Structure 1
Amino acid sequence: MLDAYLNIFVIFALMFMGYWLNYKQLFSNRTADVFSKLVLTIALPCNMFLNMTRNFSRDEFLSLFSGMLIPLGSMILAFLLSILYTKFFSVSPSRRGTFVTMFTCSNTIFMGLPINLAIFGEVSVPYVLLYYIVNTSLFWTVGVYKMAQDNPEIQSAKLSFHPLAALKKIFSPALIGFMIGLVWVLLSLPLPKFIGSFMGYLGDLTTPLSMFAIGIIVYQTGIKNLKMNWAIFGVLLGRYVFSPLIVWLLGQLIHVPEMMLQVFIIQSAMPIQNSVPILTRSYGGDVEFAASSLGYSVLIYLLYIPFLLQLIL
């Protein structure tokens, strides 16, 4: 348990370093964009491919697919619960789509992957990826569509949603790296040592660059600018109470390996996706609400994760 805490502390130390370097003006918002693109297009695909080829056998992977029922079922239930919350607490129409998306979908890669690696090691990566596939698919389809509906000009907002663009987001470089690694495993192909070393150096950039980017985002949001209200409180309940609780309950009904369920619980209880404020701005939604929710979710996570680990480990 102590080792897990220390590993998580290292992860958050990287985030605070990104925050501090931005404060010293060595980093900027532009730097966060560059880091995000490097992670998503180069480091993460290499990381996905190597983790598949190094930690998987063909039979092991085929045995995992039944576990996808838990993340899929939990997100559908969380989505329905979030809609009830918006009606019961009268969440503003200009925030409802963003609220539902933040309540339902979590930050499964930028924070989910490093945190799970810190707790469980590379053996957890297959389970992280299973949750990631479901989470990403729902986020870039249903989530983006709901955020588009926050635009006061609903008709134009609907027209701005393009299924092909969403499909392109789902089949991101990270997922493509995962799929290539999957084919490699299923065909039992050998991996040349020099290719593995080259991709290993690139893949090792994933965690530090991801946490630097999050630190920059928190700084740019501004801690003093965070404003709590019932909508943000509801988002935090969705992220840190309802989502992991639903996953745990489904895990009592659907038998999966213990570590798989633990990883799913941790993945479901991650902060908000980094891209939500950017997407909210592009669709004409409430950017301040999205940015404040992201800031609160990251800061509260520092206090929340030790409590969650006490419950599940």
Structure 2
Amino acid sequence: MVSAYINILFIFVLMFIGYVLTYKQWFSNQIGDAFSKLVLQIALPCNMFLTVTKNFSRSEFLDLIGGTMIPLISMLLTFVMSFVYQRIFDTSPARRGIFSTMFTCSNTILIGLPINMAIFGERAIPYALLYYIVNTSIFWTLGIYFIARDNPQIEQATVRFHIVPILKKIFSPALLGFLIGLCAVLVNFTVPTSVATFLNYLGNLSTPLSMFVIGIIVYNVGIKNLTLSKDIIGVLIGRYVISPLIVWLLGQWITVPPLMLAVFIIQSSMPVQSSVPILARSYDADQQFATSSMGYSVLLYLAYIPLLLKFIL
């Protein structure tokens, strides 16, 4: 357990380096965007492909299929709990959609994947990606729908889904790398050593660049600009208490491998999606609320994760 704590600490040191280098103007929003694209479109797909081909088997693939029920049911139940919280604590109608989305959906790639690798190693990646698939699907369907409804100028009937952009978000390069790796496993394809070495060079960029991006985001949010409210406290309760608790309870009812359940719990308790403030601005929702919620969730996570590890390890 001590080694897991040290690994997580080093992950946050990388984020702090990104924060400091942004303060020193080495990094900017444009560089952060470039790092994000490099991670999501090049480094992660290589990482996913190599991990699956090295550490995955056909039988474990069948375990993955059965495990999709836990993240799907847990996220739908968490959405329901967000509505209950809104009724009890009288959340402003102008931020109810974005509240429910942040309450339910987590940052499963930029933070979730490096943290799971730091705790469990590469064996956790398939399970982490499985939760990511469900999380991303719900975020870009139900999440977008509720965020759009926060804008008073948008009538309920005019909020529509556009299937092609949604599918592009769900079937990201990272997921495609995972699926191609699965195909290679199923046909018993052996990756040549030289190719694996090259892909490993690119895949190793995932963790440092991801945490640099988070450091850039936290700096640009501005710690002094964060404002705490009962609704932000509600988002933090959803992220760090209700969501992982529901996953754990479902794990007592639905039998899955212990590592899979542990990864699901970690993934369900990640900070707020980094895309939410951008979407809030796009839909004229409450951007300040979204930004403050994301900032607090990232800053609190360093203190929260050791408590969670005591529970699941």
Given the two structures, how large is their TM-score scaled by the length of structure 2?
A: 0.97
Q: Secondary structure at the match of 1:70?
A: helix
Aligned partner of residue 293 in structure 1, secondary structure: helix
The answer for the alignment partner of 1:273 in structure 2 is 273
The answer to whether structure 1 residue 173 and structure 2 residue 173 are counterparts is: yes
- Indicate the residue corresponding to 1:48 in structure 2: 48
What is the RMSD computed on CA atoms of the aligned residues?
Answer: 1.3
CA shift digits 1:33-92 (9 cap, x unpaired):
111111111111111111111110122212322111111111010011111112222212
Question: What is the letter of the counterpart of residue 298 of structure 2?
Answer: V
Alignment identity in percent? 65
Aligned partner of 2:195 in structure 1 is 195
Partner of 1:68: 68
Alignment of 1:141-156 (within 5 A): 141-155=141-155
CA distance in 2, matches of 1:295, 1:25: 20
Looking at structure 2, the residues matched to 149 and 250 of structure 1 have their Cα atoms a distance apart, in angstroms, of: 30
The DSSP-based 3-state class of the residue aligned with 1:147 is helix
TM-superposition CA deviations, 1:218-261 (whole Å, max 9, x none): 00000011101111111000000000000111111111111111
Report how far residue 147 of structure 1 moved: 1.0
Aligned equivalent of 1:103: 103
**Where does residue 256 of structure 2 map in the other structure?**
256
Following the alignment from structure 1 to structure 2, what is the Cα–Cα distance between the partners of residues 132 and 151?
27
Post-superposition shift, 1:156?
A: 9.1
Q: Helix, strand or coil: the match of 2:234?
A: helix
Match in the other structure for 1:300: 300
Cα deviation for residue 310 of structure 1 reads 0.8
In structure 2, the residue matched to 1:162 is 162
Contact 1:75–1:243 (CA<8 Å) still a contact in 2?
A: yes
Deviation, structure 1 residue 158: 3.8
Work out the CA distance in 1 between the residues paired with 2:88 and 2:263. 31
Contact 2:145 2:160 in 1 (8 A): no
Query: In structure 1, what is the equivalent of residue 288 of structure 2?
Result: 288
**Compared with structure 1, are the counterparts of its residues 57 and 245 closer, same or farther at alpha carbon in structure 2 (3 Å cutoff)?**
same
The secondary structure found in structure 2 opposite 1:154 is: coil
Q: Distance in 1 between matches of 2:158 and 2:49?
A: 36
Secondary structure, aligned partner of 2:107? coil
Q: Where does structure 1 lack aligned partners over 5 or more consecutive residues?
A: none
Indicate the residue corresponding to 1:218 in structure 2: 218
Q: In 2, distance between residues paired with 1:159 and 1:272?
A: 23
| 1:163, distance to aligned residue in structure 2 (A) | 2.5
Q: Give the count of matched residue pairs.
A: 313
Deviations, residues 257-286 of structure 1 (Å, cap 9, x unaligned): 111111111110000111111111111111
Q: Secondary structure at the match of 2:130?
A: helix
> Per-residue CA shift, 1:93-114, capped at 9, x if unaligned?
2211111111111111111110
